[in-house]
């Protein structure tokens, strides 16, 4: 890729000087694919990252907030990083084409125009989701084109093995990007419109009263991963092939967190956050909470299990002969009931066994 190649970006989430911190990563989405030798090396929807270099909350005496970000890099198709900068250098050493939109290469500062504001708060700087900018490739970058656009001969004797290996490699790359950048690296579904799976998850989680009321620290961790780590949390990321009757199997990648949060005494919570599904679901959250609770009427110790599963569907047909949405909903309800019955049976057996050993 040549130095100065323009890269059109769109801000993936709103940022404000009111709550942004220096060093925080700011996710962007690539708006237009970039090709080299007619091969896509930077796809539409790819993730680009900027970093907050200055952030100050609004102050009294009319002084406004400050917010300055520096564009850093975009993720290529082969998962390598291409460095970006905010301005395009000319041959004469000058600078043209500063970042367009609300973001510029220096701090954004608004000053009041009259002493009327001296005893009022200034305003925080807010850059809304969807703000479009143009960044530029920072320096020539040699690309190994063998890593792009590789094809597999499906008639070859090792086709199935090669497809499986390629799928495993992409899953590992995606998970590693998620572990490094959290929600900013989550996939953008654009087969029917554009849906940021991270936005779908955040909206769904904020609408889940159970998680925020029962364990605020866990909820904040799910929103801010990999930051805001609650003490004692155990994280597992795994892929699965989930099957439901009369429906297509779903390939899903899940981030599971297990914790006994300090703000939910006597409880252990397992939260399973969907970070990818190949169809049916744009977002998913499954929560299982086990809480110590005395058995009603006897005072004996016991466990109370609570299961909540929430999903956001993609464009599933509803009504008519297909009615895929209803079939998926019914299958999910059946799964919840079956899993709770199984968990109750297994928990009671384990509890009885432990009680017998203590006698």
Indicate if the pLDDT at residue 250 is higher than 60: yes
Tell me what pLDDT residue 95 has. Answer: 37
Tell me what pLDDT residue 321 has. Answer: 57
Indicate if the pLDDT at residue 239 is higher than 90: yes
Burial of residue 275 (number of CB atoms within 10 Å: 0-12, 13-18, 19+)? buried
Percent of the chain with pLDDT over 90: 23
Spatial separation of the C-alpha atoms in residues 62 and 59, rounded to whole Å: 7
- Owner of token pair 């109370």: 304
Tell me what pLDDT residue 233 has. Answer: 94
Looking at mean pLDDT, say which of 60-69, 90-99, 113-122, 167-176 comes out highest.
Answer: 167-176
129 Cβ neighbours under 8 A, 6+ residues apart = 11, 12, 13, 14
Estimate the share of the chain in helix, then strand, then coil, as percent rounded to the nearest 5: 25, 35, 40
113 Cβ neighbours under 8 A, 6+ residues apart = none
pLDDT in tens, 54-92: 888 776 555 667 788 889 999 998 888 999 988 765 343
Spatial separation of the C-alpha atoms in residues 196 and 46, rounded to whole Å: 11
Range of lowest pLDDT (78-82, 112-116, 154-158, 340-344): 112-116
Domains of the chain in sequence order: 6-143 (2.40.128), 195-358 (no CATH)
Q: What is the pTM of this model?
A: 0.60
pLDDT in tens, 307-358: 888 888 877 666 655 678 788 888 888 888 888 888 888 888 887 887 777 7
E-strand spans in 158-278? 188-189, 195-196, 234-242, 250-259, 267-277
């Amino acid at each position: 890729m040549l130095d100065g190649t323009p890269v059109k970006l769109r801000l993936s989430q709103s940022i404000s000087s009111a709550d942004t911190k220096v060093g925080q990563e700011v996710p962007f989405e690539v708006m237009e694919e970039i090709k080299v030798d007619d091969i896509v090396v930077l796809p539409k929807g790819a993730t680009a990252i900027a970093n907050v270099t200055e952030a100050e909350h609004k102050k009294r005496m009319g002084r406004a907030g400050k917010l300055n970000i520096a564009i850093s890099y975009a993720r290529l198709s082969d998962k390598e990083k291409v460095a970006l900068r905010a301005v395009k250098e000319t041959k004469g050493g000058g600078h043209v084409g500063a970042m367009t939109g609300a973001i510029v290469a220096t701090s954004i500062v608004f000053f009041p125009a009259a002493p009327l504001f001296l005893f009022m708060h200034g305003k925080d700087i807010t850059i809304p989701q969807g703000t479009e900018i143009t960044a530029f490739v920072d320096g020539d970058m040699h690309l190994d084109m063998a890593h792009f656009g590789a094809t597999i001969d499906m008639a070859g004797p090792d086709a199935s093995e090669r497809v499986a290996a390629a799928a495993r490699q992409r899953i590992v790359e995606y998970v590693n990007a998620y572990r490094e950048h959290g929600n900013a690296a989550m996939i953008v579904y654009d087969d029917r419109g554009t849906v940021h799976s991270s936005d779908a998850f955040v909206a769904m989680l904020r609408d889940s009263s159970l998680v925020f009321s029962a364990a605020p620290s866990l909820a904040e961790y799910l929103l801010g991963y990999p930051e805001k780590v609650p003490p004692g949390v155990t994280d597992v990321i795994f892929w699965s092939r989930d099957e439901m009757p009369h429906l297509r199997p779903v390939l899903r990648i899940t981030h599971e967190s297990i914790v006994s949060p300090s703000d939910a005494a006597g409880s252990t919570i397992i939260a399973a956050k969907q970070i990818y599904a190949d169809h049916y679901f744009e977002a998913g959250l499954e929560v299982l909470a086990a809480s110590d609770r005395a058995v009603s009427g006897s005072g004996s110790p016991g466990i109370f299990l609570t299961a909540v599963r929430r999903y956001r569907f993609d464009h599933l047909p509803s009504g008519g002969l297909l009615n895929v949405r209803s079939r998926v909903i019914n299958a999910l309800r059946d799964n919840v009931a079956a899993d709770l019955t199984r968990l109750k049976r297994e928990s009671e057996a384990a509890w009885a066994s432990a009680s017998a050993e203590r006698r």
